[in-house]
Amino acid sequence: MIATYIPVKPPGNATAPGMEPEKLAAILARYSRSNDGIGFLLEKFKDSSPDAIFQFVDYGHASIAGLTGGVAIALDEVSMLLAAKFFEFAQMADGQESSTRYITLSINAMPSAAEVGLPEGVADRWEALNRKGFELYNYTVARFNHIADTQPDKLNLPEKAYSNEKLKTRLVKNYGLDRARYFLPLACKTNLAIVATARVWADIIRLIESLQWKEAVEAARLARIELEKASPNLVRHSFADEASIAFVQEMLAAGNEVATQEDWQPTSARCKCNVEVFTPSNGEHFNRFNDSLGNALATRKNRYSHTGVAIKRQIVTAQWSHMAIAEMRDLNRHRTGFRFSDWGPRGFFIPDETKRILAANEEMEQLKNEFLEEYHKLVCDIAENCQTGLQAYCYFLGTQIPFEHTQHADKFLYEVELRTGMGAHFKYAEHLVDAADLYFEQCPETREFITIGNAEPE
């Protein structure tokens, strides 16, 4: 038995060790049809072109494109909205995005109305609304920081924070940003990085371009240029086509329809959770796997452990009716399953603590009320009169939308433990506790094996 690590190098770099992504994919495709060892094939085809093997991609052999390794592409200064769309479309990828829980943002992070494709007729209103959002954000951050300094018992800080000044500073900052971030505009600039095969990247870029927003088309163009450096043969599969446009525009139209209805209100609506569990029936060939769910979890040491077959076969769909985009952004980056929302506004979430802080200052309370009223009108106007979906550039992290996540039960339970554990945001922890309770009602034998945290500070 021989194990071989094959490093990946950029195309055109003859002196670097390893194989170019497409050449490696071509050799691995040949490897699947040969009794020769990988060392022999690497040597035999080291000077060959991958062009011929990639003709198979056009005949349906997409698995070859999936052998292109992890292509890492970072995009600086895209809107949080577009970043969320990248992760929504990246169902088979890993990535990270700038965190609003640790980074204090300012009005300088805002693009111009022209950059995101908003027409001149609404630009002034949009910019004025964003300024009010930042004024509310800055005020609440400052007030929460003051509370953290003067009433640290409210933060539930761990004992070790009192002997570690750096940890204490970080947790104090985290406390205020967690409760103020709902006033941040979704159009705020952020940075994101995704690592995926070239095959997956081509599909992501195709879907991003299918949004047909100005920013999305430009981001697709720039990402395509970078993808071409790693996998020039797959770039031709990264352009929007009739099917991808129909798929994306169907979702945008659904959210647009909701936004044009003035009966939705910019108030904190209660989020209802629904969980559906599907377990495949056991035919005669699968009876041996009809084990109890409890037994399937009994040897699990922590959330990183494998479970038994009974849990892995189970499919869980969790739906939340009114999730703030602040929390949706975090859950939307979870790597497994299908994540979906129509992005139609249903409310505007503001934590009770934040409401009390604003209510204590008459001027800020009035500003909040003006902000919500203008926000509601602007969203409705843009949804009614502008390009489909553009109203989402007027959303804030407090905007509540429906969110659905379908995945296998082992991944769902991993997410439950991760998103309720130490350091978790208080609100998405609440959402996952709700989902876990509904799952346990249907699968009670699993409850004793799953650790539900209380999202205490790290």
CA angle centred on 64, ends 62 and 67, rounded to 5°: 120
Question: Over its length of 458 residues, how does the chain's per-residue pLDDT go in tens digits?
Answer: 465 666 777 777 767 667 777 777 777 766 666 667 778 777 877 777 766 555 655 545 555 555 666 777 888 889 999 999 999 998 888 777 888 887 888 999 999 999 999 999 899 999 999 999 999 999 999 999 888 888 877 777 777 777 777 777 777 777 888 899 999 999 999 888 888 888 889 999 999 999 999 999 999 999 998 888 888 888 889 999 999 999 999 999 999 999 998 788 999 999 999 999 998 876 666 666 667 888 889 998 888 889 998 899 999 999 999 999 999 998 998 878 899 999 999 999 999 999 999 999 999 999 999 999 999 999 999 999 999 999 999 999 999 999 999 999 999 999 999 899 877 888 999 999 999 999 999 999 999 999 998 876 65
3-state SS track over 27-47: HHHHHCCCCCCHHHHHHHCCC
Ramachandran quadrant class, 60 (left: phi over 0; alpha: psi -120 to 50; beta: rest): left
Distance (Å, whole) CA 363 – CA 151: 24
Give me the amino acid identity at 236. R
Q: Which two tokens stand for residue 265?
A: 């209100």
pLDDT of the residue at 66: 57
pLDDT of the residue at 55: 60
Distance (Å, whole) CA 126 – CA 89: 27
Q: Provide the greatest CA pair distance for the chain.
A: 78
DSSP state of 48: S
Helix (H, G, I), strand (E, B) or coil at 319: strand
Q: What are phi and psi of 195, to 5 degrees?
A: -115, 120
Give me the amino acid identity at 184. L
Output the CA torsion 437→442→445→448 (10° steps). Answer: 0
Output the CA torsion 103→158→148→364 (10° steps). Answer: 60
Output the CA–CA distances (angstroms, integers) from residue 358 to 27, 140, 346, 353, in the order listed: 63, 8, 22, 9
